[in-house]
Structure 1
Amino acid sequence: MTSHDFKRSSFDSCVYFKKNNDGSLVYLLLYVDDMLIAAKDKGEIRKVKAQLSEEFEMKDLGPAKKILGMEILRDRKTSKLYLSQKGYIEKLLCRFNMRSAKPVNTPLAAHFRLSSALSPQSDDEIEYMSHVPYSSAVGSLMYAMVCSRPDLSYAVSAVSRYMANPGKEHWKAVQWILRYLRGTTDVCLQFGRTEDGVIGYVDADFAGDLDRRRSLTGYVFTIGGCAISWKATLQTTVTLSTTEAEYMAITEACKEAIWLKGLFSELNEDLQISTVFCDSQSAIFLTKDQMFHERTKHIDVRYHFVRDIIARGDIVVSKISTHENPADMMTKSLPITKFEHCLNLVGVHC
Structure 2
Amino acid sequence: MESLHKNRTWDLVQLPKGKKVVRCKWVFKKKEGIPGVEEPRYKARLVAKGYSQILGVDFTDVFSPVVKHSSIRALFGIVAMHDLELEQLDVKTTFLHGELEEDIYMQQPEGFIASEKEDYVCLLRKSLYGLKQSPRQWYKRFDSFMASHDFKRNSLDSCVYFKKNSNGSFVYLLLYVDDMLIAAKDKGEIRKVKAQLSEEFEMKDLGPAKKILGMEILRDRKASKLYLSQKGYIKKVLCRFNMQSAKPVSTTLAAHFRLSSALSPQSDDEIEYMSHVPYSSAVGSLSMLWFAHFGRTKDGVIGYVDADFAGDLDRRRSLTSYVFTIRGCAISWKATLQTTVALSTTEAKYMAITEACKEAIWLKGLFSELNEDLQINTVFCDSQSAIFLTKDQMFHERTKHIDVRYHFIRDIIARGDIVVSKISTHENPADMMTKSLPITKFEHCLDLVGVHC
Q: Give the TM-score normalised by the residue count of structure 2.
A: 0.65
Separation in 1 of the partners of 2:425 and 2:180? 40
Matched residue of 2:305: which SS? strand
- Aligned partners of 1:220 and 1:326 also within 8 Å: yes
Paired position in structure 2 for 1:246: 349
Deviation at 1:76, TM superposition (A): 1.2
Matched residue of 1:295: which SS? helix
Paired position in structure 1 for 2:409: 306
- Aligned partners of 2:360 and 2:376 also within 8 Å: no
Separation in 1 of the partners of 2:452 and 2:284? 24
Aligned residues: CA RMSD? 1.3
- Aligned partners of 1:202 and 1:250 also within 8 Å: yes
- Structure having the higher Rg: 2
Separation in 2 of the partners of 1:250 and 1:280? 10
Q: Greater shift after overlay, 250-259 or 264-273?
A: 264-273
Deviation at 1:349, TM superposition (A): 2.9
Q: Deviations over 1:168-225 (max 9, x none)?
A: xxxxxxxxxxxxxxxxxxxxxxx00245321000011000111001001111101111
Deviation at 1:44, TM superposition (A): 0.4
Matched residue of 2:322: which SS? strand
Matched residue of 2:203: which SS? coil
Deviation at 1:119, TM superposition (A): 2.1
Decide which of 136, 158, 173 is 1:28's aligned counterpart: 173
Separation in 1 of the partners of 2:371 and 2:424? 33
Deviation at 1:273, TM superposition (A): 4.1
Q: Greater shift after overlay, 63-72 or 123-132?
A: 123-132
- Aligned partners of 2:368 and 2:374 also within 8 Å: yes
Separation in 1 of the partners of 2:247 and 2:370? 45
- Aligned partners of 1:276 and 1:315 also within 8 Å: yes
Matched residue of 2:396: which SS? coil
Matched residue of 2:310: which SS? coil
Q: Deviations over 1:35-56 (max 9, x none)?
A: 1100000000001001101111
Deviation at 1:2, TM superposition (A): 1.3
- Aligned partners of 1:200 and 1:221 also within 8 Å: yes
Deviation at 1:286, TM superposition (A): 0.1
- Aligned partners of 1:221 and 1:227 also within 8 Å: yes
Matched residue of 2:232: which SS? helix
2:301 corresponds to 1:198:
yes
Q: Deviations over 1:92-126 (max 9, x none)?
A: 11101111101011243335422111222112111
Q: Which has the higher helix share?
A: 1
Q: Deviations over 1:24-77 (max 9, x none)?
A: 100001000011100000000001001101111111111001011011000112
Separation in 2 of the partners of 1:68 and 1:206? 34
Q: Greater shift after overlay, 102-111 or 78-87?
A: 102-111
Q: Which runs of no fewer than 5 residues in structure 2 stay unpaired?
A: 1-145, 287-293
Q: Deviations over 1:254-288 (max 9, x none)?
A: 00000001000111011224210000000000000
Matched residue of 1:245: which SS? helix
- Aligned partners of 2:310 and 2:316 also within 8 Å: yes
Separation in 2 of the partners of 1:274 and 1:50? 40
Separation in 1 of the partners of 2:188 and 2:253? 48
- Aligned partners of 2:302 and 2:376 also within 8 Å: no
Q: Give the TM-score normalised by the residue count of structure 1.
A: 0.84
2:315 corresponds to 1:212:
yes
Separation in 2 of the partners of 1:16 and 1:240? 44
Paired position in structure 1 for 2:394: 291
Paired position in structure 2 for 1:228: 331
Deviation at 1:136, TM superposition (A): 3.0
- Aligned partners of 1:197 and 1:274 also within 8 Å: no
Deviation at 1:138, TM superposition (A): 3.8
Matched residue of 2:368: which SS? helix
Matched residue of 1:60: which SS? strand
Separation in 1 of the partners of 2:309 and 2:236? 36
Q: Structure 2 vs 1, CA of residues 10 and 194 (structure 1 numbering), >3 Å: closer, same or farther?
A: farther
Deviation at 1:135, TM superposition (A): 4.2
- Aligned partners of 2:308 and 2:319 also within 8 Å: yes
Q: Which runs of no fewer than 5 residues in structure 1 stay unpaired?
A: 142-190
- Aligned partners of 1:247 and 1:284 also within 8 Å: yes
- Aligned partners of 1:206 and 1:241 also within 8 Å: yes
Q: Deviations over 1:270-319 (max 9, x none)?
A: 12242100000000000001225211111111000000000000001000
